[in-house]
Structure 1
Amino acid sequence: MHQYIVNASIQILPIVQDKHAYEWVDEAIEVIRGSGVRYEVGPFATVLEGTYEEVTAVIGKVNEFLYERGCAEWISSIQLQIRSGGDITGESKTAKFKQ
């Protein structure tokens, strides 16, 4: 895959009763925070920006982390936008709406 910037959103929906679902989400965000990939936490999903390889590796690490930590079940909802000829960033899509 090319080395342009892609962006993705990941939403983790734990299906658990062992602790509050937000605790699992907070731990998943810590995995993202430690990855070095640019990210922005939103109320429903976290947006990631980096190369395709970087972003998909972080998504894999989040899922592996939940598995290794014993999360019983979860849904990973992922959206990934790729532009063949250049970078695609969240800022390029939302800048016109910021005041």
Structure 2
Amino acid sequence: MVVANVSLQVLPVVGEEELYGVVDKVIEYIDSTGVKYEVGAMETTMEGDIDKLLDIVKIAQQICVDNGAVRVVSVVKIDYKPEGVTMEEKVGKYRG
């Protein structure tokens, strides 16, 4: 398995009072998958098999719809190289 990084920002079109609740549902789902992930202020970055991560992205869209979104705009960033890439190698030096 080649390790990749995928960052996902979901922007569900719901009422402002519902926004964080819908995003929380997506993060709960990501947590349930067992992939390594980090929640940031603007996006969640995941680490793992590229196929599994892209499946998570697809399901995240449906979770938003299932929780009241009439539309979902998502920003997806992928960092992939054949030998693999980890979050630690990119940001480890910045952690205490």
TM-score of the two chains, using structure 2 as the length reference: 0.89
- In 2, the alpha carbon distance for the partners of 1:41 and 1:65 equals 17
Q: Which residue is equivalent to 2:95?
A: 98
Give the unaligned 5+ runs of structure 2. Answer: none
Corresponding residue of 1:15: 13
Q: Report the equivalent of 2:46.
A: 48
Instruction: Provide the alpha-carbon RMSD of the alignment.
Output: 1.5
Q: Which runs of 5+ in 1 are unaligned?
A: none
Aligned length: 96
User: 1:62 maps to which residue?
Assistant: 60
CA distance in 2, matches of 1:64, 1:51: 21
Q: Give me the identity figure in percent.
A: 28
Moved over 6 A (4+): none
Does residue 71 of structure 1 match 2:69? Answer: yes
Aligned AA (2:89):
S
Judging by fraction of residues, say which structure has more helix.
2
